[in-house]
Chains A and B, each alone.
Chain A
Amino acid sequence: MSSPPVDPLAGPHLVAAISATAEADPERKAVGFVRHPEHEGEEALRSYAWLDATARRVAVLLRAAGLGTGARVLLLFPQSAEFAAAYAGCLYAGMVAVPAPLPTGTSLEAARVVGIAKDAEAGAVLTVSETEADVRHWAARTGLGALPLYSVDELPGDADPDTWREPEIRADTVAVLQYTSGSTGSPKGVVVTHGALADNVRSLLTGFELGAGSRLGGWLPMYHDMGLFGLLSPALFSGGAAVLMSGSAFLRRPALWLTLIDRFDLAFSAAPDFAYDYCVRRVKPEEMDRLDLSRWRWAGNGSEPVRAETLRAFAKEFAPAGLHPNATAPCYGLAEATLLVSLSAGELRTRRVDVAELENHRFVEAAAGRPSREVVSCGRPTALEIRVVDPATGKPVTGDGVGEIRVRGASTARGYWQKPEATAETFVMDADGSGPWLRTGDLGALHDGELYVTGRIKELLIVHGRNLYPHDIEHELRARHPELGTIGAAFSLPTEEGEAVVVTHEVGPSVRPERGPELVTALRATLAREFGLAPAGVVLVRRGRIPRTSSGKVQRRLTARLFTTGELAQVHADPGAHRLLAALREADDRDGVLPPVT
């Protein structure tokens, strides 16, 4: 490998970083999509010369299509190198990249992308020839057919890269709208500026001691904040390469992810907790024999609760393949902070805390024989400042207090795109007049300067690293199953095996209990297909049994409490719900406490 051409930490923004590398070392590898990690090599990767020239052409084309500085461009891509060129092209044009999933999956996903396109007021769509027909069909069907649409691998020949001029990019110039927040009906785009992006990417590179020319990669999709800001952007910022594969290939054969890391010398890859557990359970011994993971420095674990058992099992399982015992790195972050807030690089640190104390918002080591929960340290904040406050008063908690995690610093987002109210609710001044602080909606504690995430205030469900909104789930069930009543409540409960999702819904008066099993089967099919969700339990209740506020708002937390205490009157609870209740009751009998509803 040739010597690194640029100091990755010196560049002011991603456009400068990419063009500097392209100029200094044009043949250097930048990005690639690998279909068969076992059979492909360096030829699968495109160069910085290709990335820079394609980004220039995209920028010239978008300008020629009449889009101005700051216009929003929707990126609808399969996992591909072309995504990187489209992303860079938007930034080269001084425009705003809006990555979103391909709207070719479930009808819900297609509807969500329409919501994103409209909320962002997208002025153009970029894709690749492989998916162009599907995207055009979707756009025509949903009233977006008039938007200019281009395939990045088949750009018109008159887009001359030499006519590109670098736009003015300042720290507060908007780079990306990241739509991981908000329900389907009300998507919220996190406004990520060039300054925030550069700052967050730098904190990842320095936090993991990844120098110039680093290789990062994995299967996370690029419309996911951890894919875009945790893999692709830092790779390109450092003058290194992002090596990508598809999520579906990973799910089919998880060993392919590890093969990708081995064969392409990735120093860093990241995934949600479930992926590490999945590897432990599904990588076969003969596949492991062929792996050398000794050069994999960091296995970032984030975007859903990090479990100590997963980290230990993964480290143990893959130690024979050369995995360094301290390679697993728990991280905490969220799109509203661009991505990374804190990381733990080094030995796994956990605390076993008292469950009853935790319910009283105190983070106290459990005495022997007391019911306890092991919580993983997500390490120290990188470049951001963290504070834990009482969510009711906004005042910092004292001593061993648990409270809402709040974050401030250069990489916190500017707010939500054209949503002043939601922005004001989430980015707040604290009781002492300091701020703005990002309210993460997560609960946690700081202990010896390290962050321990213990739960959530927000009603968000996190499944396989994806954010699911209870409202979306309840709404979709009603839309597809007319036997249901008007109110449902989906919530999660902490258990010894992680979070258990329970879906409860009212049924109409004509639904007799003996019809329960059949209806639950139908509901479970909808949940699996539309949300990838297999709830621990499904419970049907009579009308009026799910508590609401006087203004009619569903009280999900109270419903969860009624469920755990057995007070939720049921028409039918499925076997999973009975098992969960029995387990909770057993813990109650044994320890005298119910797990906290957080």
Chain B
Amino acid sequence: MSLSPPSSPPPSPLAPGDPDALRQWLREQCADCLGVPAASLATDVPLTDYGMTSVTGTALCGVVEEYLGVECDLGLLWQEPTIDGLTVRLASRTVR
């Protein structure tokens, strides 16, 4: 799926090849989508335990695609339900 590019591309929030930074960034984005503090999210617990649904999940996919420039859909979120799992999968997608 193609996305309309943001009119002023934000600076990439991440140093390439730094999984810890990616994990922390994802944790903040998940917290933002779920409306909870980032500190309340354990990275090895399924996000659906914190109330992630297709609605909040689609919001997360939108942020990931916009800022990381990699494809992300609900299928991936259901396959990799934790922040740790998502970090590994998205890190492999950002490697070019």
Residues of A within 8 A of B (CB): 35-39, 248, 251-253, 256, 274, 278, 281-282, 286, 290, 464, 520-521, 524-525, 527-529, 532-534, 576
Q: How far is the CB of A88 from chain B (nearest CB, A)?
A: 28
Cβ B59 vs Cβ A534 within 8 A: no
B66 at the A/B interface (Cβ < 8 Å)?
yes
Majority DSSP secondary structure for residues of A touching B? helix
Cβ A253 vs Cβ B62 within 8 A: yes
- Collect the chain B residues with CB atoms within 8 Å of residue A248's CB: 58
B8, B45, B62: most-surrounded residue (chain A CB, <10 A) = B62
Q: Which of A37, A256, A520, A532 meets B53, CB within 8 Å?
A: A532
B25 at the A/B interface (Cβ < 8 Å)?
no
With CB as the reference atom, state the residue of chain B lying closest to A533. B53
State A248–B3 Cα separation when bound (angstroms). Answer: 11
In residues 1-59 of chain B, which contact A (Cβ within 8 Å)? 2-4, 7-8, 35, 45-46, 48-49, 51-59
State A521–B51 Cα separation when bound (angstroms). Answer: 11
B8, B52, B53: most-surrounded residue (chain A CB, <10 A) = B53
Cβ B54 vs Cβ A528 within 8 A: yes
Cβ A252 vs Cβ B53 within 8 A: no
With CB as the reference atom, state the residue of chain B lying closest to A251. B58
State A527–B3 Cα separation when bound (angstroms). Answer: 28
Cβ A251 vs Cβ B46 within 8 A: no
Q: How far is the CB of B22 from chain A (nearest CB, A)?
A: 20
Q: How far is the CB of B10 from chain A (nearest CB, A)?
A: 9
With CB as the reference atom, state the residue of chain A lying closest to B35. A281
Cβ B49 vs Cβ A38 within 8 A: no
Q: Which of B54, B62, B78 meets A252, CB within 8 Å?
A: B62
B85 at the A/B interface (Cβ < 8 Å)?
no
- Collect the chain A residues with CB atoms within 8 Å of residue B4's CB: 35-39, 256
Q: How far is the CB of A558 from chain B (nearest CB, A)?
A: 27
Known contacts A251-B59, A252-B62, A252-B65; A532/B81 CB under 8 A = no
State A593–B83 Cα separation when bound (angstroms). Answer: 41
Cβ A464 vs Cβ B55 within 8 A: yes
Known contacts A252-B3, A521-B46, A521-B48; A534/B58 CB under 8 A = no
State A524–B57 Cα separation when bound (angstroms). Answer: 14
With CB as the reference atom, state the residue of chain A lying closest to B54. A532
State A497–B6 Cα separation when bound (angstroms). Answer: 33
Cβ B53 vs Cβ A534 within 8 A: yes
B68 at the A/B interface (Cβ < 8 Å)?
no
- Collect the chain A residues with CB atoms within 8 Å of residue B54's CB: 528-529, 532
Q: How far is the CB of B74 from chain A (nearest CB, A)?
A: 8
B61 at the A/B interface (Cβ < 8 Å)?
yes
With CB as the reference atom, state the residue of chain A lying closest to B72. A252
With CB as the reference atom, state the residue of chain B lying closest to A532. B54
- Collect the chain A residues with CB atoms within 8 Å of residue B3's CB: 252
State A282–B29 Cα separation when bound (angstroms). Answer: 11
10 contacts between A and B (CB under 8 A): A36-B4, A38-B4, A39-B4, A251-B62, A252-B58, A278-B59, A464-B55, A528-B52, A532-B55, A576-B51
- Collect the chain B residues with CB atoms within 8 Å of residue A528's CB: 48, 52-54, 57
Cβ B62 vs Cβ A525 within 8 A: no
Known contacts A252-B3, A253-B66; A525/B48 CB under 8 A = yes
A36, A524, A527, A576: most-surrounded residue (chain B CB, <10 A) = A524
Q: Which of B2, B8, B61, B81 meets A525, CB within 8 Å?
A: B81
State A527–B4 Cα separation when bound (angstroms). Answer: 31
- Collect the chain A residues with CB atoms within 8 Å of residue B45's CB: 521
Known contacts A248-B58, A525-B48, A534-B52; A38/B7 CB under 8 A = yes
State A452–B56 Cα separation when bound (angstroms). Answer: 30
State A520–B49 Cα separation when bound (angstroms). Answer: 8
State A532–B8 Cα separation when bound (angstroms). Answer: 32
With CB as the reference atom, state the residue of chain A lying closest to B2. A35
- Collect the chain A residues with CB atoms within 8 Å of residue B59's CB: 251-252, 278, 282
Q: How far is the CB of A526 from chain B (nearest CB, A)?
A: 9
Q: How far is the CB of A541 from chain B (nearest CB, A)?
A: 20
Interface string of B68-87 (1 = CB under 8 A from A): 00000000001001000000
Given A521-B49, A529-B48, 20 other A-B residues pairs in contact with their CB atoms under 8 A = A35-B2, A37-B4, A251-B59, A252-B58, A252-B59, A253-B66, A282-B59, A464-B55, A520-B49, A521-B48, A524-B48, A527-B48, A528-B48, A528-B53, A529-B54, A529-B78, A533-B53, A534-B48, A534-B51, A534-B53
Q: How far is the CB of B31 from chain A (nearest CB, A)?
A: 12
State A252–B5 Cα separation when bound (angstroms). Answer: 12
State A216–B96 Cα separation when bound (angstroms). Answer: 43
- Collect the chain B residues with CB atoms within 8 Å of residue A282's CB: 59
State A533–B46 Cα separation when bound (angstroms). Answer: 15
With CB as the reference atom, state the residue of chain B lying closest to A524. B48
- Collect the chain A residues with CB atoms within 8 Å of residue B56's CB: 534
B2, B7, B8, B49: most-surrounded residue (chain A CB, <10 A) = B49
Query: When A and B form their complex, which 10 residue pairs have the shortest distance between CB atoms, in order from nearest?
Result: A252-B62, A534-B51, A251-B58, A36-B4, A532-B54, A528-B48, A524-B48, A525-B48, A528-B53, A532-B53
